[in-house]
Chain A
Amino acid sequence: MSRDEYSYVGKSIPRIDSRSKVTGEALFTADLKLPRMLVGKILRSPYAHAKILDVDVSKALSLKGVHAVVTGKDTAGEKWGVFRYTRDQQLLCVDKVRYVGDEVAAVAAVDEDTALEALSLIRVDYEELPGVFDCRSAIEPGAPLVHEDRPRNINVAVKIDVGDVEAGFKRSVLIREDTFAAEEDSYFMTENYAVVANPHADGSIEVWMPNASPHTKAKALSNALKLPLSQVNVRKITIGGAFGGRSDVFPAEFIACLLSLKSDRPVKLVYDREENSIATRMGHAMITTIKTGVDPDGAVLARDIVSYLDGGAYSSTGPIATSVPYLCHEQAYRLENVRFHGYRIYTNKPVRGMIRIHGRSFACGIDTQLDMIADELGIDPVAIRLRNARRPGETTPTGSYVASCGMVECIEKTAEASNFLEKREKRPPNRGIGMGINSVQTGFPLGIRGGSQAFIKFHEDGGATVVSGVVDNGQGNDQMLVQIAAEELGVALDDVRLISADTEVTPTDAGSYSMISTFGGGAAVKAAAEDARAQLFEVASEMLEADPSDLVARNRKIFVRGAPDVGIPIAKIVRKALILGRPIMGRGSFAPDVDQRREWISNPKGQLSQAFSFGATVAEVDVDPETGRVQALEVACAQDCGFAVNPMLVEGQFEGGVAMGGQGGMLGEEHRWHQGHVLNPSLLEYKIPIIKDMPAITPIIVETIDPGGPYGAKEAGMSVAMSAAQAYCNAVGNALGIYFNHYPLTPERILDAIEHKKPGIQTAWELEPARIIKSE
């Protein structure tokens, strides 16, 4: 069907949740207030690495107003890990603390002042241990071990080797090896993490928290609390942003549950900004060495990459985090011979997770080096990208078939919209223009939780309620589901109610962290609506004496195609169906067509994701060589999102992606350290972009209508954030004639690079390469 034939999908319709958000009615977790609710607070380690010798809570327990205190003794050392083989994070530390902020004990008290006083009364005896604070020193033989059973502090080692890399290098006319580094970045979602736990007499517990998959949270809590999954009910709540930072399971939700079960009262635990920064997740610091060989036209013949990711104290999503930067790259570019060694390394620093622009040093390194190669060969940046860009119908090196791909169109359209080649040719001094391209997965093989299901029930007045496990972190998933349901059911948007992301009621879903909400959750709702509509057609066909296949549902009526005036109201059909004993109950499901045997470390081959998005961004900047300050002037960003279910929302994702990935991610966002202490955990010192920083943005939606997605849709949340970081990086480099290899590009780095500017085509700084780690 063409876009014009749809009633709701493909249209820029305001979001159903926006009214409650502009009036202040929308409740976030910290806004919840329950009768007899207590305040929870967590005691955290002041040391980066220390043995716990003793924890004495007796004084805290005897303080008036304290209702519960928990320590590692209450948890029997219960551990969390995303994978069975990465369960390394004790939900409350028992024997050792591994970063400044590690959870040691917690209290529940009648108010915040009492809870804080109780924390101050807990005595913990530590024996401080030497720590490791960066990848290189952590892998030195003899370095202190963060986890005693992990030699050389290697948490995860991923190896991918496709084709014949050495032969590819032999055939190359030009080979470059360069090393790129990026510091830790952070989410800084506007809402701080919070959790509310509410125990019930029947043994069940309700939990609210910002999350990217209520079902994953419920399963982890059920395991840790030793409660049946059906008794752990993670409820829907408004969520103030995620960007990858709400995907994992955190000790705090377990602790809140423990405190509430122990006190038999609801407990609310709200993080302050500093806790949100250090004790949820942050982005990895990363060093990447890239060796690339090309033919005379700039086609890549071989590439060999080694990455070190500073993972912090625990695994989190380690195997995924280690692999994804490489995988995005192998989707974006054609590669026959490629090798990747990725190491995630433990350090005594806060835990790292996936972030919207995960792997800055990798993605920006690939694109920066490509620009260097293009310059050496005398090719322009657009041509070398087009030469190497992925096309539809191809297969990635690790074996994913790419059914739809608009990479070429994204490159061409952003180049055209920005007048790239002409501007690159005729630049005023200190002005630069750069391009970045990238690709993102739409879902991963996640076993039984990789799919999504949905139900639809009809009300007697013709309204419908959709039940789906999809969670909305702020991106507009709720709106997406409602637009799809209304489209298929032929009812008005206002007729559709949505119950979502509540594990007691809603069926399972893959979560919003792998960019699969529209592709998977949207597809399940579409299937459920089609099922309900087929049931409506069955009943209507008897009433209209027509064949069901000739019927159309639209404008709250069902009619024979071409005769909308003699239709029957859907409400009437719903009531008729009730009388006939054939009530309308739609159900639908989605299971991704991926290779479930694929595993991140043991078997990194096979279909990774059913669909992939592709994107390109061009940024134009002015750099002040006196101050090192960068002013972004214009950004053109394109993404092949398959099909834009709601173009206004897709544009919002692109624009937010430019802010987070390019403006913030490349120009200033980084954490600073004194050993294991984060020096800038607050919004005052960690600079995220404000409205005045933002350039003019031209969003370009590219649609390739993926055969597997609902209406052809893929994902819209991540690709631009990544390509924007790469584009900004190359634009600043172009302005100064410098190839930057240490990110983000803060004024001090820019000034340093200008001061030490090197002749010829080489990176700004000579960084020690990341090498394969032998003897594991």
Chain B
Amino acid sequence: MKKQLLSMTVNGEEVNLAVTPNTTLLEVLREDLGLTGVKEGCAEGVCGACTVLMDGNPVRSCLTLALEAGGADIVTVEGMATGGNLHPIQQAFIEHGAVQCGFCTPGMILASKALLDRNSDPSEDEIKTALAGNFCRCTGYRKILEAVSAASTGHTEPRRKE
């Protein structure tokens, strides 16, 4: 299959590469760019482990052809922290025990970011709707819900004590 040129921005850096039309965004991110924080869980768009942000929207990178990302601004979990400082969502996931095995975590964090960027003070139901497409098998979701709620601006409760 003939390769085509792909230009996109990934985590703030411009990327140019040649890919075959059947290559998924997931494959480009993982294989070509080494961004292994993007996980493949089901390869059919169900589990959400491969979630990345494309122009601010959460997308399943396993179902997105790489060429569809031409000109887009892609954010993976590797692009969340800035200057060594974790994003408040990342920090909240750590502090609230929302991370167990960690395989779903990158997708969860990015889906949460897409929500909070749009709605900085979501209700519990809105959080659940935003994360309904991200599977976690370890946590029972309670602590993920707590973490996202703690990272929202309307959250005034003191953070969990040790």
Q: Using a CB–CB distance below 8 Å, which chain A residues touch chain B?
A: 11-15, 17-28, 30-31, 33, 187-192, 238-241, 243, 272-273, 473-476, 648-649, 651-652, 654-660, 663, 682-684, 688-692, 694, 697
Asked if A656 and B138 sit within 8 Å, CB to CB, the answer is yes
Sample (22) of A-B pairs whose CB atoms are under 8 Å apart: A12-B162, A13-B162, A18-B99, A23-B80, A24-B36, A24-B38, A27-B36, A187-B137, A188-B137, A191-B39, A241-B100, A241-B101, A648-B96, A649-B97, A651-B97, A651-B143, A652-B97, A652-B140, A656-B140, A691-B136, A692-B129, A697-B142
Question: Which residues of chain B have C-beta atoms less than 8 A from A656's C-beta?
Answer: 100, 137-140
- Least CB distance from B102 to A in Å reads 3
Q: Which residues of A contact B131 (CB under 8 A)?
A: 691
| In the complex with contacts A21-B105, A683-B135, A684-B44, A12-B160 CB distance below 8 A | yes
**Which residue of A is nearest B78, CB measured?**
A24
Q: Which residues does chain B contribute within 8 Å of A22, judged by CB atoms?
A: 77, 80, 86, 90, 93-94, 99, 102, 105-106, 109
0/1 string, B134-157, CB within 8 A of A gives 1: 111111111111000000000000
* B76 CB within 8 Å of chain A: yes
**B91-135 CB contacts (< 8 Å) to partner A:** 93-97, 99-106, 109, 127-129, 131-135
Q: Which of A474, A658, A682 has the most CB of B within 10 A?
A: A474
**A694-B93 contact given A22-B105, A684-B42, CB 8 Å threshold:** no
Lowest 4 CB-CB distances: which A-B pairs, in order?
A24-B37, A474-B101, A21-B102, A655-B140
List chain A residues, Cβ under 8 A from B77.
Answer: 22-24
Partner of B46, one of A658, A682, A692: A682
Any A CB within 8 A of the CB of B6: no
Contact check: which of B30, B36, B44, B102 meets A683 at CB < 8 Å?
B44
Q: From known contacts A11-B162, A474-B102, infer whether A190 and B90 are also in contact, taking CB-CB under 8 Å.
A: no
- B81 within 8 A of partner (CB): yes
Q: In the complex, A651 Cα to B98 Cα: how many Å?
A: 11
CB distance from A724 to the nearest CB of B (A): 10
In the bound complex, residues from chain B placing their C-beta under 8 Å from that of A239 are: 101
A28–B39 touching, CB < 8 Å? yes
B2 proximal to A (CB < 8 A): no
Mask: chain B, 33-55; 1 = CB below 8 Å from A; 0 = not: 01111111111101101000000
How many Å from the CB of A262 to the closest CB on chain B? Answer: 25
Size bracket of the B interface: 35 or more
State whether A190 touches B94 (Cβ < 8 A).
no
B142 to chain A minimum Cβ distance, whole angstroms, is 4
CA distance A475 to B97 in the complex (A): 11
> What residue in chain A is nearest B22 (Cβ atoms)?
A113
User: Which of B46, B97, B106, B144 is the one whose CB lies under 8 Å from A24?
Assistant: B106
Q: How far is the CB of B116 from chain A (nearest CB, A)?
A: 15
Q: B96: which A residues are within 8 A, CB to CB?
A: 648
Shortest distance in angstroms between B157's beta carbon and chain A's nearest beta carbon? Answer: 15
Residues of chain A within 8 A of B99, CB atoms compared: 15, 17-18, 21-22
| Residue from B95, B109, B142 whose CB has the most chain A CB atoms within 10 Å | B142
Most interface-central of A20, A33, A190, A658 (chain B CB within 10 A): A190
A20 to B103, CA, bound (A): 11
Query: Which chain A residues lie closer than 8 Å to B43 at the CB level?
Result: 272-273
- Measured between beta carbons, the chain A residues less than 8 angstroms from B81 are 23
Residue of B nearest to A242 (CB): B101
A241 touches B103 (CB 8 A): yes
Please, which residues of chain A bring their CB within 8 A of the CB of B90? Answer: 22-23
Residue in A closest to B77 when the chains form the complex, CB atoms? A24
Q: Which residues does chain A contribute within 8 Å of B76, judged by CB atoms? A: 24
Q: How far is the CA of A688 from the CA of B78 in the complex (A)?
A: 28
Q: For B43, B49, B137, B139, which residue has the most chain A Cβ atoms within 10 angstroms?
A: B137
Q: Which residue of A lies closest to B109 (CB)?
A: A22
Closest to B142 in A: A655
**Do A691 and B132 contact each other (CB < 8 Å), given the known contacts A11-B162, A23-B77, A190-B137?**
yes
B101 to chain A, nearest CB (A): 3
CB-nearest residue of chain B relative to A699? B142
Least Cβ–Cβ distance between B140 and chain A, in angstroms: 3
In the assembled complex, the Cα of A474 lies from the Cα of B129 at a distance in Å of 25
How far apart are the CA atoms of A238 and B136 in the complex, in Å? Answer: 16
Residues of B close to A692: CB separation below 8 A: 128-129, 132
Check if B37 sits within 8 Å of A190, measured CB to CB: no
Residues of B within 8 A of A31 (CB): 30, 36
Q: Is the pair A652, B35 in contact by a Cβ cutoff of 8 Å?
A: no
Complex Cα spacing A685 to B37, Å? 26
Contacting pair A18 B160 (CB below 8 A): no
- Give the chain A neighbours of B35 by CB distance below 8 A: 24
Q: Is the CB of B138 within 8 A of A690?
A: no
| A475-B140 contact in complex given A23-B86, A23-B90, C-beta closer than 8 Å | no
CB distance from A743 to the nearest CB of B (A): 19
Within the assembled complex, what's the spacing in Å between the Cα atoms of A682 and B34?
27
Kindly state the separation between the CA atoms of A180 and B103 in the bound complex, as whole angstroms: 35
Cβ-neighbour of A14 out of B97, B104, B129 (below 8 A)? B97
Contact A238 B102 (CB under 8 A): yes
Contact B140 A476 (CB under 8 A): no
B38 shortest CB reach to chain A, Å: 8
Considering the complex, give the chain A residue whose CB is closest to the CB of B145.
A691
For the complex, give the distance between the alpha carbons of A11 and B136 in Å.
Answer: 25
User: Are A476 and B100 within 8 A (Cβ)?
Assistant: yes
The CA-CA distance from A659 to B100 in the complex, in Å, is 14
Report the nearest A residue to B106, measured CB to CB. A24
Contacts A660-B140, A682-B44, A683-B42 supplied; 9 other A-B pairs, CB < 8 Å: A12-B160, A18-B93, A22-B86, A22-B105, A23-B80, A191-B39, A655-B143, A656-B139, A694-B141
